[in-house]
Amino acid sequence: MGKGKIIIVSAPSGTGKSTIIKQLMEKEELQLRFSVSATNRSPREGETDGLSYHFLSTEEFKKRIADDAFVEYEEVYPGRFYGTLKSEVSRVLQQGNNLILDIDVKGGINVKKQYPEALSLFILPPSIETLRQRLLARATDDIETINQRVAKADFELTFADKYDVRVVNDDLPKAIDETYNIVKEFIDKR
């Protein structure tokens, strides 16, 4: 059975990253499987434990750090931990499927270092102001969280040129198309 490939996707929150990833995962020919990260944040409405994330208590998360269960983990927001589990990576790749990771910039760069053959993809918003508007419209977070995320986005954008490829999400269907073509080419390459 062929060994799968790794696709790392990073983007500031509110950039349309989750939507783009979801659309890609529906394309059967890409054989993508989502790397379900662990986190100690609480589930949002519509999120399912074991599918969106493995939702852990802070104590459980720290136990996994001590057990060396992570490929990488980061404190993405103060007190909020996210990590890629070794078990997720090996399970998917051994099945011969391709693994898609939705992780923050530090995690993305870290994984790319450990797996140089991986494709790293950065999705950019047209501007910081557009991003703020999108986060406000999504209305899943309070204003303080949104301000935190916008400040973080500003910082994250400085990492964009460290990724293999960049896609600007100006127009969602176009961004999905563009991302699909990049990923398809990467997967088809022997």
Nearer to ligand 5GP, 40 or 97 (CB): 40
**Shortest gap between Cβ of 1 and ligand 5GP (angstroms)?**
25
**Shortest gap between Cβ of 174 and ligand 5GP (angstroms)?**
22
Nearer to ligand 5GP, 1 or 135 (CB): 135
Amino acid at position 110, single letter:
N
Q: Which two tokens stand for residue 122?
A: 């950065």
Residues that bind ligand 5GP (CB under 6 A): 13, 37, 41, 72, 74, 76, 82-84, 102-104, 106-107
Phi, psi of 114 (to 5 degrees): -75, -30
Nearer to ligand 5GP, 29 or 60 (CB): 60
Contact by Cβ (8 Å): 97, 33: yes
Q: Count helices and strands (H / E) in the chain.
A: 7, 9
**Shortest gap between Cβ of 82 and ligand 5GP (angstroms)?**
3
**Shortest gap between Cβ of 62 and ligand 5GP (angstroms)?**
15
User: Which residues have CB under 8 Å from 80's CB, separation 6+?
Assistant: 39, 40, 41
The DSSP secondary structure of 61-106, one letter per residue, reads: HHHHHHTT-EEEEEEEETTEEEEEEHHHHHHHHHTTPEEEEE--HH
> Which residue is nearest to ligand 5GP, using beta carbons?
107
Nearer to ligand 5GP, 75 or 185 (CB): 75
Nearer to ligand 5GP, 2 or 48 (CB): 48
